[in-house]
Chain A
Amino acid sequence: DAGVTQSPTHLIKTRGQQVTLRCSPKSGHDTVSWYQQALGQGPQFIFQYYEEEERQRGNFPDRFSGHQYPNYSSELNVNALLLGDSALYLCASSLRQVINSPLHFGNGTRLTVT
């Protein structure tokens, strides 16, 4: 049973560039959430997708956008990268119909902005 998979594992970008991160949820899951984890901090909620629509959003600017495909996979896009966007980006999947369905995290994509 495949867990949550993310790609790429590492990425180096320059300020002002754009980046796309990808996530495939755990088999059987239909909801994908994205979190940003800065070094030494807890993960912070970016947004959540279900049925190809953004359902909840955290306190992140519009430079952060996403998408979910019919197969439940998801992308996180960040435009106009800033140095402060350097972090580990975690994707987590869950099953909406199960109240408080535990989140299963992927290994993350480590983004470095120079």
Chain B
Amino acid sequence: GENVEQHPSTLSVQEGDSAVIKCTYSDSASNYFPWYKQELGKRPQLIIDIRSNVGEKKDQRIAVTLNKTAKHFSLHITETQPEDSAVYFCAASLSMNTGFQKLVFGTGTRLLVSP
């Protein structure tokens, strides 16, 4: 089955710096890669996703890159702000023709942005 590894487990940056979180996956058939942000005591919220037919996607300060050959994908946050502090999870999914998918999550990265 699919396995997702995520690094680093914790990341501390100064406000305004960039942050990069990396994930690798094992199943080359996986075709959907979302990123979730989870603040303490709250629900995971989708912040960006990428499909296997795209190499990069950007949304304001957030970008995700995908390298299918190496089976890894990364989240990039530029100009970090204190409100970016949270736990970030990557995930991978194999979506069958049936339309059903299940996400396999990484272990999470705790991002702390200091003012």
Interface residues of A (CB under 8 A from B): 4, 31, 33, 35, 40-45, 48, 50, 55-56, 58, 90, 94, 96-108
Contact = CB atoms under 8 A, between A and B. Distances in A.
B99 interface: yes
A35 B105 CA distance: 10
Nearest to A58: B102
Give the interface size bracket for B toward A: 20 to 34
22 contacts: A4-B43, A31-B100, A33-B102, A35-B103, A42-B4, A43-B44, A43-B103, A45-B102, A45-B104, A48-B100, A48-B102, A50-B100, A58-B102, A90-B44, A96-B100, A98-B99, A105-B36, A105-B44, A105-B45, A106-B43, A107-B42, A108-B43
A42 B43 contact: no
A81 B85 CA distance: 34
A46 B40 CA distance: 22
A58 B1 CA distance: 10
Contacts of B20: none
A41 B107 contact: yes
Nearest to B49: A102
Contacts of A56: 100, 102
B95 A100 contact: yes
Contacts of B4: 42
A31 B96 CA distance: 15
Given A41-B108, A102-B46, A102-B49, A97 B102 contact: no
